[in-house]
Structures are given as C-alpha cells and as structure tokens.
Amino acid sequence: MACPICERKLIFVTGKGGVGKTTVSAALGLMLARLGKRVLLVELGDVPSLGRIFEQDHYGYLPQEVRPGMWIARITPEESLREYGLMKLKIKTLYNLVFDNPFVKALISLVPGMEELLLIGKIEFMVHGRSKAPDGLPVDVVLVDAPPTGQGAGLLSMPMTILLAVKAGPITRDVQRIQDLLTDSERSGVVVVTLPEEMAVDEALELEQALMGRGLPVCTTVMNRCVPQVFLEEDESTLDDCISKMPAETSRGPVGALLKTAFHITATYRSQQKQISRYRKSGKVRDVALPLIPAHRLGERELSDLALRLREQIESIECTAEPRVGDAL
C-alpha cells in the first residue's frame, strides 16, 4: 500500500510542548527521504532544536543538507519579511528605505498576527517551488516542526482569521492562496504528536477537533514514548506476589530494586494502554506508536529505527478525517 502521507507537499507536526514533536519531525523527514522524496525540514524561530538531532551547529534561513535528499532550515519573521519585501519591491535600496526604517519595523511587530502570516507565507512560498534546495532543484515535501499546541493552532488558523477580517485587496489574494493550500487534503496535512498520558491525550483530542473544525486535514496522531510490554498478564501476578512476599532485606537490595523497576514498567505499560484505548474511542484519525527512547541515546541508529517504525505503521493506515472503524494499528 502506498504511504498515505507521502504524496502531500506540506506537512505540519505539532503537539503539546515536551511530547517530542521535534524528534518525530526528524524521524518523519528521514522516512520520507528514504522513500525517495526531497525533504525540506523547517523549524520556526530562533531555537536550533533540529541542529542538536542532526549535529549541525551552523544553519539558518538557507537550507542545509543533513542526509541524502534531506535539508533543514530555520526561518524567522524578520528574514521572511525581507525576502517578501525584496520580491515585491524589486529594488533593494527601496526595501531598505521602507522596511529598515525603525518606525516601520516597530509598527509591523505590533500588528496582531503579522509574524504568523510572514512565517506561513514563507512556507507557502517554499511549497510552490519558488524556494529551492542548494542544488538548485525544488523539494518534494516541506515538513514543518511547528510550535506547540497553542501557537501551532494559531499559526495554522491565521489565514482564515485574516480572510474573515479583510474581504478584498492584494493581501487577500495571497492569504486565500495560503488558506487553499492548508485546507487541501491532497496537498497538506497535520501530524499531531502526543504522549499516552491522560492530560496529553485530552489536549491532543482538543487540538484534533479544533484543527478539523477549521477545515485543516489531520493525517494521524503519533503516540510517542510508549513503553513495551515486558510481561504477559499471567506473569504480572507472579511479579506482584514476589514483591509482596519479599523480605525487607531483599527489598532494600539490588534484587528488590530490579523487581520494583519491572513492576513500575509494567504499571506504566498498563496505564499507557488505557490512554491509547481512550484516544482510539474518541479520536477521529488513526494513531501510530513510537517507543520510548531516552534523549541521551537518540543517535543515528535510534532515529533510523523510529523512521522505520513510522513507515511500517503509516503505510498501514488511511489518512482521513472520518471516524475510523476498529482500533488496531
């Protein structure tokens, strides 16, 4: 079966802060690159999170290759404004006269939603091939490591907000083109990242509903940092008995520590499965699960493993906003 995400030109990855969406973005980008796509992985703002994963200290507005067929870039509203202004005004001197004026800069920064509009406009510019990789060729997929839930939803909602407020004019045409791209399920999609925990699942469900309510296609939800099933159910009772009957001296020693750790892992697995089941009863899209990997161990091998797991699971689901049938991965 063809991967349902692979044909999209634009993919946003978002979710609650701290759920590992940057790691998921990197793994998804690697997966797409290994499927033969030319991928531009973009992060927004000044914090170089992707650089830590790909061991790149110097990268920014211009794409930098980190893997075969895969580039990363970091875009800011200021640089996006400069590129847009030069494109519209044509003459650098005129741009400097207008947009380098301190008063104009201050005024632009005070306009509600202007920074989000500049960022989303630059992303649309990339998608339509007007921004190319350093080799001079366009990319196939623009993959955006979007801000956390609140900011991410605001970014994706900004075009609609502007269209409701401004009914006509040059800016309306540009914004309508962006909105058409974001709501086109054949070209765009959103991947929601969450953890199999009660509050995180609640927020993921709310985010999913809010995005769909704005006409934004949600492809899938990634349940990140899932612990494995270490014991079968019949073995869990044996583990409970061992811990309850363990002498106090043994309990304080290394054997006791190992048994308690095993019990904690088992309890965590059960708790996570409960939240995954709850999501599957309420969510509107299929979810995929990624294993828990300690941050200090996230190297090339682990990232490759995450990319492989994503491919196996994503290829088995259909990206749809319709209520799903069943709950198997």
pLDDT, one tens digit per residue, over 273-308 is 999 999 999 888 889 999 998 767 788 899 999 999
Of 60-64, 100-104, 227-231, the poorest mean pLDDT is in 100-104
Nearest to 188 by CA among 3, 5, 2, 1: 5
In the structure encoding, which two tokens stand for residue 300, read together?
A: 């090339």
* Residue 323 included in any domain: no
Q: What pLDDT, on a 0 to 100 scale, did the predictor assign at position 319?
A: 45
Burial of 283 (0-12, 13-18, 19+ CB in 10 A): buried
Per-residue pLDDT at 272 exceeds 70: yes
Which residues are 289's β-sheet partners? 223
Instruction: pLDDT band for 234, please (50, 70, 90 cuts).
Output: low
* Residue 107 included in any domain: yes
* Residue 233 included in any domain: no
Query: Hey, how many other C-beta atoms are within 10 angstroms of the C-beta on 80?
Result: 21
Looking at residue 61, which CATH number applies to its domain? 3.40.50.300
Nearest to 29 by CA among 47, 45, 46, 49: 49
Mean pLDDT of all residues in 97-111: 57
Q: Give the CA distances from residue 98 to residues 85, 114, 274, in Å, rounded to whole numbers and listed in that order.
A: 9, 17, 57
Burial of 12 (0-12, 13-18, 19+ CB in 10 A): buried
* Residue 273 included in any domain: no
Find out whether 31 and 62 touch, Cβ atoms under 8 Å. Answer: no
* Residue 292 included in any domain: yes
Per-residue pLDDT at 328 exceeds 70: no
Burial of 32 (0-12, 13-18, 19+ CB in 10 A): buried
Q: What pLDDT, on a 0 to 100 scale, did the predictor assign at position 2?
A: 46
The kind and range of the H/E element at 89 are helix 77-89
Q: What pLDDT, on a 0 to 100 scale, did the predictor assign at position 324?
A: 43
Domain count, the chain: 1
Global pTM reads 0.83
Q: What pLDDT, on a 0 to 100 scale, did the predictor assign at position 320?
A: 42
190-229 pLDDT per residue, tens: 999 999 999 999 999 999 999 999 999 999 999 999 998 8
Mean pLDDT of all residues in 297-321: 81
* Residue 269 included in any domain: no
Q: What pLDDT, on a 0 to 100 scale, did the predictor assign at position 321?
A: 39
Per-residue pLDDT at 139 exceeds 50: yes
Q: What pLDDT, on a 0 to 100 scale, did the predictor assign at position 40?
A: 95
* Residue 181 included in any domain: yes
* Cα 67 to Cα 306: distance, rounded to the nearest angstrom: 16
* Residue 190 included in any domain: yes
- Domain of 134? 10-226+283-314
* 106 or 313, higher pLDDT: 313
